[in-house]
A and B are shown apart, each in its own frame.
Chain A
Amino acid sequence: MNLRPDPTFHASPKLAMEAPIENYAFTVMLSPDGSQSDGIAVIDLKPGSDTYGEIVHQVIVPNKGDEFHHFGWNACSSSLSPMSGHAFLERRYLIVPGIRSSRIYVVDVKDPLKAHIHKTIEPEELFAKTGYSRPHTIHCGPEGIYVSCLGGGGKDGTDGPPGIFIMDCETFEIIGQYEMDRGKQDKHYDFWWNLPQDYMVSSEWGLPPQFENGIVPEDLLSNKYGHSIHFWDLRARKNIQTMDFGENYQMALEIRPAHDPTKSYGFCGVVVDTTNLQGAIFTWWRDDDGVWQSKKTITIDPIPADADDLPDLLKGFGAVPPLVTDIDLSLDDKYLYVACWGLGEMHQYDVTDPMNPVLAGKVELGGIVADTKHPNGKDFAFGPQMVEISRDGKRVYWTNSLYSTWDDQFYPNDEGGQMVMADVGENGGLTLNKDFYIDFPKGLRSHQIRLEGGDCSTDSFCYPSV
């Protein structure tokens, strides 16, 4: 407990943008076959530092086979609402779940160079207290730390629906299931919210048997992955509306609400439209009658390709699907970044008018067929995937692995973990930074990035930007 609010808590998105820039990044390192332990890489981002852009510390966990994926903070700017009563928490711990093992590590990063494991929650405890498995997205909110899980109970995670559980934000004790009325929600992936407006939105990937051993082509072609998002009364813990994008919109993943809490809209990325292999972004919003609506506002076309250049999975299609696997919105709600993991492209859309996004910048790197090299001449394995934007919106970082078994299906001949950075132009535009290229230790891939002091997919704000 501090005597003053943590200086990295900001009342509004605008204040967060004006705050000092990030000094470190924390990036997940995962062993795709479980032969090594997973870990968190601490990367030096201090401008002018001798070790800028290098891994300066690693937290390696004692177990193997966890498969790190997403992670998040114990506390963020949401603590500045008097209603949550948590104004004096420290942004100090990263909650790092193993998506395969269901084990959760709490890593103390108060001193990033001495980051270490503070607490470990064993899978059995998670199963017993929540009935959920495969923990994934972390957000800090009114009742503590919220964690979405992709699996329900039982060995293969299909015994009961998956959902969100709440964890105490000081002791890291698991409290229990979040949902009181889940309505039609029977799959899970991402979730986020607008705290003053008291709504939450959650999305769907698929059940564990649909992803753990790789993508199941029959399930995809028969549209059995998630294609709905769910709107919740956040504090009443009740599903108030389920919105089906249409069954061909397979895998509705990342939920990115506008950061400014006066706005009642956001975006959701869809990996693939099975009718035409397009990637899609939906804008969702609340209309004047309080009903949630959505519209497809971005489509990204597949690119025809020779079957010989395609992995077995895609040979029959004769094209590379964009595969929109991650999206991220800058804190001023101006630019939406869209990772096209299949094409090997990172798109930047101006979403000042959320109903009419305009492509403002693009970087080509990696890709199933294109396999574009980094400007420094080195290879980039797979394609642009987990993307994170600096608070000030000037730097965009991304890594390359989607999920161990899926990497192997879509990129059977690639291997490696890389993290790169692109600079954002004054009036949009995206340029890869030639000097920023991190090659992860051999045998480890990389996934989500968190920036010291919060970033564009961690903090929820309780006051508008004015």
Chain B
Amino acid sequence: MIAEMTSVTALWWAVLFSGFYHGVNPGMGWPLAVSAALMERDHKALPRALAMLALGHFLAMIAILLPFSLMIFLVSWEVEIRIGAGLLVIAMGIYLLINRRHPKFLARVHPARLALWSFLAAMAHGAGLMLVPIYLGICAIGADEVGHLAAQALMGNNIITAFSVAAMHTLSMTVAGGVIAVIIYAWLGLKFLSRTWFNLDVVWALSLILVGLFGIYSAYFGH
């Protein structure tokens, strides 16, 4: 059962799913793409805005994943690192559960600076952290498979994996958000913008806790 759950394929699906989950959440920015196209009276502004949001989100993922990929020289501490990462993610989830306030500094970002806003929003909500246990799971399986490679090669592999995870996740997020943005912009109209909006704050915080628990569990019992 655990072996299945932590299989590489399953973990990559988790990366895709997390992207979809972030993407459909209006709080991660797709309404801004609708707004951009309407404000500029140019439908090309929609993909441009989505690209900016994606760039910011991607950088936020990388900013979180990369430090973990560099820790691989502590290979003998792998389990401890994964447990530590899991605890960190759980802590973020608990923090977001207790502190239900929205970060004020996000409101200071100029509305045209979508990449910056997207980066900060992802950071503030622990969007990158949500990927860490999944990412470390993929790295661990990778390490098992390649056997005892030199640490440097392993690190190289992990950096590539970090970029792939961030890219897959961001792509999935952008497609999910983009599809909704296009449907609202082209067919349904702005009325549906507020109708598709659900308060996911609690679900989001619980997801972080769940992913963190999964990270610790798989570090102990999985790979």
Contact = CB atoms under 8 A, between A and B. Distances in A.
Interface of A: 1-5, 7, 9-12, 15, 80-88, 142-144, 170, 195-198, 235-236, 261-262, 462-464, 466
Given A82-B31, A463-B193, A198 B108 contact: no
B142 interface: no
B110 A85 contact: no
Given A9-B194, A463-B38, A143 B104 contact: yes
B199 interface: yes
Interface in B151-198: 189-191, 193-195, 197-198
Given A2-B199, A462-B35, A85 B107 contact: yes
Contact of A198 (B41, B103, B110, B190): B110
A83 B191 contact: no
B107 A15 contact: no
A69 B89 CA distance: 49
A116 to B, nearest CB: 25
Contacts of B35: 81, 196, 462-463
Given A11-B190, A15-B191, A261-B39, A84 B100 contact: no
A235 B104 CA distance: 12
A143 B100 CA distance: 16
B107 to A, nearest CB: 4
A340 B106 CA distance: 42
Interface of B: 26-29, 31-32, 34-35, 38-39, 41, 100-104, 106-112, 117, 121, 189-191, 193-195, 197-199, 201
A464 B193 CA distance: 13
Contacts of A81: 31-32, 35, 111
A11 B194 contact: yes
Nearest to A77: B194
B34 A84 contact: no
Nearest to B108: A235
A317 B83 CA distance: 84
B33 to A, nearest CB: 10
A6 to B, nearest CB: 9
B199 A88 contact: yes
Contact of B38 (A3, A88, A466): A466
A4 B199 contact: yes
| CB-based closest 4 A-B pairs | A85-B102, A142-B107, A11-B190, A5-B194
Given A262-B39, A462-B35, A463-B38, A83 B109 contact: yes
18 contacts: A1-B199, A2-B199, A3-B199, A5-B197, A80-B194, A82-B31, A82-B32, A83-B107, A83-B117, A85-B102, A85-B103, A87-B27, A87-B197, A142-B107, A142-B108, A143-B104, A198-B110, A463-B31
A82 to B, nearest CB: 5
Nearest to B32: A82
A84 B193 contact: no
B67 to A, nearest CB: 26
A180 B154 CA distance: 50
Contacts of A143: 104, 107-108
A261 B39 CA distance: 7
Given A82-B29, A195-B111, A463-B35, A4 B190 contact: no
B198 A3 contact: yes
B108 A80 contact: no
B107 A464 contact: no
Contacts of B26: 82, 87
A80 B184 CA distance: 15
Contacts of B199: 1-4, 87-88
Given A87-B27, A144-B107, A195-B111, 6 more contacts: A83-B106, A83-B109, A84-B106, A85-B107, A85-B121, A463-B38
Contacts of B190: 11-12, 15, 463, 466
Among A15, A88, A143, A170, the most chain B Cβ lie within 10 Å of the Cβ of: A88
B123 to A, nearest CB: 13
Contacts of A9: 194
Contacts of B100: 1
A445 B197 CA distance: 42
A80 B27 contact: no
B39 to A, nearest CB: 6
Contact of A86 (B102, B111, B121): B102
B193 A235 contact: no
Contacts of B111: 81, 83, 195-198, 235
A454 to B, nearest CB: 14
A19 to B, nearest CB: 10
Contacts of A144: 104, 107
B109 A235 contact: yes
Contacts of B34: 463
Contacts of B103: 85
Among B108, B112, B195, the most chain A Cβ lie within 10 Å of the Cβ of: B108
Contacts of A195: 111
A383 to B, nearest CB: 39
A300 B41 CA distance: 37
A464 B41 CA distance: 10
Given A82-B26, A142-B107, A4 B102 contact: no
Contacts of B107: 83-85, 142-144, 235
A5 B28 CA distance: 16
B25 to A, nearest CB: 9
A87 B108 CA distance: 17
A261 B36 CA distance: 11
Nearest to A18: B191
A198 B193 CA distance: 21
Contacts of A261: 39
Nearest to A166: B104
Contacts of A197: 111
B193 A85 contact: no
Among A82, A143, A236, the most chain B Cβ lie within 10 Å of the Cβ of: A82
